[in-house]
Amino acid sequence: MTKTVFTNAKLADGLLHDITVEQGQITSIEPAGSETASVSIVEIAGDMLVPGFVEGHIHLDTSFYGDTWMPHRPCTNGFDVHERVVFQAENMAAAAPMDKRARDQLDLCISNGTLHMRSHVMVDSSVGLKSLETILAVREDYKDIIDIQLVAFPQSGILKSPGTPELLDEAIKLGADLVGGLDPASFDRDVNAHLDVVFGIAEKHGVDVDIHLHDAGSMGAFTIEEICARTVALGMQNHVAISHAYGLGDLLPDTARKIAATIAKSGVSIMTNAPGNHTFPPISLLRREGVTVFSGSDNIRDSWWPYGDGDMLRRAEIIGYRSGFYTDEDLQAAFDIVTSEGAKALQLHDYGIQVGAKADFVTFSATCIPEAVVSFPKNRKVFKGGKMVAEGNKKIR
């Protein structure tokens, strides 16, 4: 059996260890110097070794990363999801083939250390299942270097886009792993009817749910409570996520605390990318109440905003910066959000630097995790199943 030992790797405890990998799995973790008789040695030389990053929310189909620069078009009258969807359709018609753009974006993410991903893919009456078919083929090509979950995402609403309930159902049969939703109140203007479709498909196919919720204040909070109630009623605890949940950032602390307790009890996780110039969920408060908070790049160079670099370590820095995280404990929390908490939300059971887990890890030079969060060092090596897939910010496989 081929056995590779990664020697002198600094783990989160600050100590040097030798990590043995066999058949893509971690089979032992010993103090440095314990392993001497192995055939294959990879010298980590005191760099940190951490689990592969979890990109919990991205859009592989709509990014223009790698394409020509696409100047951002502002909404005519303040932010309007409907208008942005129209701009997106116009931009997509003029963009490079989706397959190329998706691969460019994946290469970017992998080169930065992302080895697990959840991507939403647009399913509506205009594109039908075409985008999903393209991204499913790309996923197949990348299956040895990154694990990808796909969400059937009703970007144009469910009730407002005729035929979408049937398309979402077909999308799951075709290979999407989760069913998505979009602002049941403000977009479709009928929370119950929207959630009937989403949870109906989830129940029918036994798949998880991840809903985009941009709605502010009490409308957002009301929708969150409805999602939590359905999650509990269907016994779907730990299988439902709400992406963005901006409304949580608008609430007074007491109200936020109460709803956080409901979210925690329902086992619903919250995804935030800590967006600029926008309210976003109070991460510390949510975590204190026991809510799983995870993160993602969301949009990278698309019709919604021009930002994003596919680096989840930098995303941890943005989360910390926007949340006022200064202590080591807080910076560690920001790191957990892009690693172990993401793994929890995505239900990755063989994750982490532990015996029995997949040998999916990233190395870089930093003295400790908090320092890595604020400096997001770029001299990384990325290993999938113990095999190097990227070095020096370039994908090599």
Least distance (Å) between residue 57 CB and Zn ion: 6
* 183 or 298: CB nearest Zn ion: 298
Residue 304 phi/psi, 5-degree rounding, is -95, -40
Least distance (Å) between residue 275 CB and Zn ion: 10
* 250 or 302: CB nearest Zn ion: 302
Length of the chain: 397
* 7 or 105: CB nearest Zn ion: 105
Binding mask 248-287 for Zn ion (x = CB under 5 A): ----------------------------------------
Of the listed pieces 8-16, 62-70, 95-103, 294-302, which binds Zn ion according to CB under 5 A?
294-302
Helix (H) or strand (E) holding 4: strand 3-10
Least distance (Å) between residue 63 CB and Zn ion: 11
Least distance (Å) between residue 310 CB and Zn ion: 14
* 298 or 336: CB nearest Zn ion: 298
Residue showing the smallest CB distance to Zn ion in the complex:
298
Strands 208-213 and 240-244: parallel
Residue with tokens 């930098």: 314
Strand order of the β-sheet with 293-294 is: 53-58, 114-122, 147-153, 178-182, 208-213, 240-244, 268-271, 293-294
Residues 297-316 that bind Zn ion (CB under 5 A): 298
What Rg, from alpha-carbon coordinates, does the chain have? 21
Size of the site for Zn ion (CB under 5 A): 1
Residue with tokens 């993401």: 342
**Rounded to whole angstroms, how far apart are CA atoms 101 and 121?**
13
Least distance (Å) between residue 298 CB and Zn ion: 5
Quick one: angle between helices 328-337 and 312-323, nearest 10? Answer: 130
Instruction: State the DSSP code for 251.
Output: S
Of the listed pieces 28-36, 74-82, 127-135, 290-298, which binds Zn ion according to CB under 5 A?
290-298
* 210 or 360: CB nearest Zn ion: 210
Strands 240-244 and 268-271: parallel
**Rounded to whole angstroms, how far apart are CA atoms 370 and 386?**
25
Helices and strands, counts by H and E, the chain: 12, 17
* 55 or 298: CB nearest Zn ion: 298
* 124 or 298: CB nearest Zn ion: 298
Instruction: Please name which of 46, 94, 30, 40 lies closest in space to residue 67, comparing C-alpha atoms.
Output: 94
* 44 or 121: CB nearest Zn ion: 121
* 61 or 169: CB nearest Zn ion: 61
Least distance (Å) between residue 8 CB and Zn ion: 40
End-to-end distance of the chain based on CA atoms, in angstroms? 23
Helix (H) or strand (E) holding 6: strand 3-10
Least distance (Å) between residue 59 CB and Zn ion: 6
Q: Per the structure block, which two tokens stand in for 96?
A: 């490079």
Least distance (Å) between residue 296 CB and Zn ion: 8
* 289 or 298: CB nearest Zn ion: 298
Instruction: Please name which of 391, 292, 307, 380 lies closest in space to residue 343, comparing C-alpha atoms.
Output: 292
* 298 or 341: CB nearest Zn ion: 298
Least distance (Å) between residue 155 CB and Zn ion: 9
Q: Which residues are CB-contacts of 76 (< 8 A; sequence separation ≥ 6)?
A: 83
**Rounded to whole angstroms, how far apart are CA atoms 63 and 96?**
10
Least distance (Å) between residue 153 CB and Zn ion: 7
**Rounded to whole angstroms, how far apart are CA atoms 264 and 31?**
37
Instruction: Please name which of 260, 251, 252, 262 lies closest in space to residue 217, comparing C-alpha atoms.
Output: 251
Least distance (Å) between residue 104 CB and Zn ion: 18
Contacting positions for Zn ion (CB under 5 A): 298
